[in-house]
Structure 1
Amino acid sequence: MKICILGAGALGSAIGGVLSEGGHEVWLVNRGQAHVDAIRQHGLLLREDGVDRKVRVHAATHSQGIGVVDLVLVLVKSFHTREVMLSAKNIVGPDTVVLSLQNGLGHEDVLAEVVGAGQVIAGKTYAGGVLLAPGHILAGTKGKETLIGELDGRVSSRVLAIAQAFNAAGLSTQVSRNMLSEMWDKLLVNVATGALGAITHLSYGDLYAVPEIEACALAAVYEAMAVAQAAGIRLGTTEPRQAWDKAAAGLPPEFKVSMLQSLEKGSITEIDYVNGAVVRWGQKYGVPTPTNLALVACVKGVERALLKQTQTRQSA
């Protein structure tokens, strides 16, 4: 299978590396020249269980010249989805499948507007990755589940083929008949740790050592579950602690949430698509979400402070 990963940062590179090891032709597209150059010159280094291994994989800063692919995995930050997909339409042929594995809600609608609803399927992954250095990734894919499915609940041949390819490569993948519920279950995991990791700048080991952080996380997940119930979403998660426990399951203590990784790179986060989505849906269905609103406010405050620091350094 020929696969292109748009937004191949830490997570995308980890997934792409495993798929390449599984015998697929994988292209990692990342705007960061240093990351791409390192992969081209030395191969992609994946670290698991404290051991590095080298993976040969294609890397580029744009999609020009790649040609039409069988599968596009979209892993760009949510706010870049439309722009990046528009720029990569050259790799989408009539039979190309476009799969979002992004955090949060609403990406499939954006992708469908660009490439057509018939070519988009939905997915969520509990895998993770941390960028240690350009071309060097701490991979969190082992034993971490990925779920994919058609938006209308059908079990199609194309979804089954993708799941088979992923599983054969070592990415634990299940086909779901109810991706909206799966997306909400994954959202609960992001709600549990994303904002709190960004605000505190703590990796998972330290994040889980503070009882007050845990209490705040459980309150935020409880609110999100109440919103989902009001919206008629059938969740697999039955109590908030399941989301809190699942967020860090199997990951090393030095692992960092993606929102914190964004801040450390000087970028804004996906808070509007995670806790912010809970707040918006809560407003729509009349469910109070004060904890999530506070987390959104704090992350946006951190983002603003970071922006001011950057502007001050540039003007100095």
Structure 2
Amino acid sequence: MHHAQEPQAATVGILGAGAMGTLFGTRLAQAGIPVTLVDINPELLEAIREHGVHCETDQGPLRARVQALQARELRQPPARWLIFTKAAHTQAALQSIAHVIGPETLLLSLQNGIGHIETLHGFADARQIAVGVTTWPARLLEAGRVSSLGSGKIRFMPRNGLVDARFQDFCNDLNRAGLHCEIDPEVETAIWEKLAFNAAFNGLCGVTRQTVDALATPLGRELIRDVLDEVVSVAAACGIAIDVPRLQATVEDALNHHVGHQPSLLQDLLAGRPTETDSIHGSVVRAAERHGIATPVTRTLHRLISVTQQRTP
């Protein structure tokens, strides 16, 4: 077995060059942090190599140059990875970089849903893995180009419950890139709050084909509240106390400021791609069933999206 070169300590590898990967890649590279984007789509990678990455923000456009490679082309493995693939692809994506995951490699997942966390533990020790959430909005305009209007933040925590210097450095670099990152021991709560937020917005926008701000009507708010109530009660049964006022504040902020934003699930449906409804709505419904809790609205959203998804080409 040949050993890859020493990991590049300063570099951040980003697994998945979709909307979030492109947003984070642009911001990190702009801040002078070397970035390697890894994806399985050769046309996407070629476009990024040729034109760089580009992000439209409220403050104007950001542009940067990054490395863009397929996993097998990695020669100098990054020591730190951001995982942004869809939850259903986590196993295959990590398998593709398994040859460069060493005992000191850090893996930070900011993926949606809760189904992928166990998968990470198949590739590294708990001390190398951190899981968190991000509220940054991103919409893919074309290969290597995203729109990210409004702001967001990141919260994560290493899986062994201890913060070592290297995860602190990772957090500092994300902050240097303006990504508002904090290490948060309460991140399990944040993950469930994000799950509730996504179940509502991804589900309702996906089914109604509306942007986020279009749900700022009495009926839209009522539907959002129904979904949130269901997820909050399932979280409580799982031993997670969601901070309801904070969640409601996040929802209000999205309704008021994520104007024209299509959540990722709606983007996927419109593009005929598989959605993440299973790791968002499906995971809530399965947890609810284990605790004997009814989740009629979340379950219906899951079924409607699953039916729609079967129809899309």
**Same fold by TM-score greater than 0.5:** yes
| Stretch moving more, 24-33 or 217-226 | 24-33
Aligned residues between the structures: 304
Preserved CA contact (<8 Å) 1:190 1:247 = no
Query: What is the Cα deviation at residue 21 of structure 1?
Result: 1.0
Between the aligned partners of 2:53 and 2:71, the Cα distance in structure 1 is 18
Within the alignment, does 1:65 sit opposite 2:74 as a pair? yes
Letter in 2 for 1:261: Q
CA distance change for structure 1 residues 248 and 7 in 2, over 3 Å: closer, same or farther?
A: farther
Between the aligned partners of 2:32 and 2:164, the Cα distance in structure 1 is 23
Q: Which digits, 9 at most, give the CA deviation of each residue in 1:12-49, with x for residues without a partner?
A: 10011101111111011223333322221121121112
Aligned partner of residue 273 in structure 2, secondary structure: coil
Which residue in the other structure is 1:190 paired with? 198
Which residue in the other structure is 1:82 paired with? 91
Preserved CA contact (<8 Å) 1:143 1:172 = no
Within the alignment, does 1:285 sit opposite 2:299 as a pair? no
Between the aligned partners of 1:282 and 1:195, the Cα distance in structure 2 is 17
Structure 2 counterpart of 1:269, from 264, 272, 275 = 275
Preserved CA contact (<8 Å) 2:30 2:63 = no
Aligned partner of residue 54 in structure 2, secondary structure: strand
Task: Describe how 1:169-208 pairs up with structure 2 within 5 A.
Answer: 169-208=177-216
Which residue in the other structure is 2:265 paired with? 259
Runs of 4+ in 1 over 6 A off after TM superposition: none
Preserved CA contact (<8 Å) 1:221 1:243 = no
Within the alignment, does 1:242 sit opposite 2:249 as a pair? yes
Between the aligned partners of 2:54 and 2:91, the Cα distance in structure 1 is 30
| Stretch moving more, 254-263 or 234-243 | 234-243
Structure 1 counterpart of 2:172, from 142, 164, 168 = 164
Structure 1 counterpart of 2:307, from 295, 301, 309 = 301
Within the alignment, does 1:212 sit opposite 2:212 as a pair? no
Unpaired segments ≥5 residues, structure 2: 1-9
CA distance change for structure 1 residues 66 and 164 in 2, over 3 Å: closer, same or farther?
A: same
Between the aligned partners of 1:180 and 1:66, the Cα distance in structure 2 is 35
Aligned partner of residue 141 in structure 2, secondary structure: strand
Between the aligned partners of 1:279 and 1:35, the Cα distance in structure 2 is 35
Which residue in the other structure is 2:231 paired with? 224
Within the alignment, does 1:106 sit opposite 2:112 as a pair? no
Query: What is the Cα deviation at residue 249 of structure 1?
Result: 5.9
Letter in 1 for 2:158: E
Preserved CA contact (<8 Å) 1:103 1:187 = yes
Q: Percent identity?
A: 28
Which residue in the other structure is 1:314 paired with? none
CA distance change for structure 1 residues 50 and 120 in 2, over 3 Å: closer, same or farther?
A: closer
Query: What is the Cα deviation at residue 290 of structure 1?
Result: 0.6
| Stretch moving more, 68-77 or 235-244 | 235-244
Within the alignment, does 1:6 sit opposite 2:36 as a pair? no
Query: What is the Cα deviation at residue 52 of structure 1?
Result: 2.8
Preserved CA contact (<8 Å) 2:36 2:78 = no
Between the aligned partners of 2:32 and 2:246, the Cα distance in structure 1 is 40
Unpaired segments ≥5 residues, structure 1: 311-316
Between the aligned partners of 2:55 and 2:75, the Cα distance in structure 1 is 23
Query: What is the Cα deviation at residue 276 of structure 1?
Result: 1.4
Between the aligned partners of 1:34 and 1:254, the Cα distance in structure 2 is 28
Task: Describe how 1:1-150 pairs up with structure 2 within 5 A.
Answer: 1-49=10-58, 51-140=60-149, 143-150=151-158
Aligned partner of residue 152 in structure 2, secondary structure: coil
Which residue in the other structure is 2:6 paired with? none
Root-mean-square deviation (CA), in Å? 1.9
Letter in 1 for 2:199: V
Letter in 1 for 2:238: A
Query: What is the Cα deviation at residue 202 of structure 1?
Result: 1.7
Letter in 1 for 2:260: E
- TM-score where L is the length of structure 2: 0.90
Preserved CA contact (<8 Å) 2:106 2:128 = yes
Preserved CA contact (<8 Å) 2:213 2:256 = no
Query: What is the Cα deviation at residue 239 of structure 1?
Result: 7.1
Preserved CA contact (<8 Å) 1:68 1:90 = no
Letter in 1 for 2:57: E
Q: Which digits, 9 at most, give the CA deviation of each residue in 1:89-137, with x for residues without a partner?
A: 1232221101111000032210111233332111110012111122211
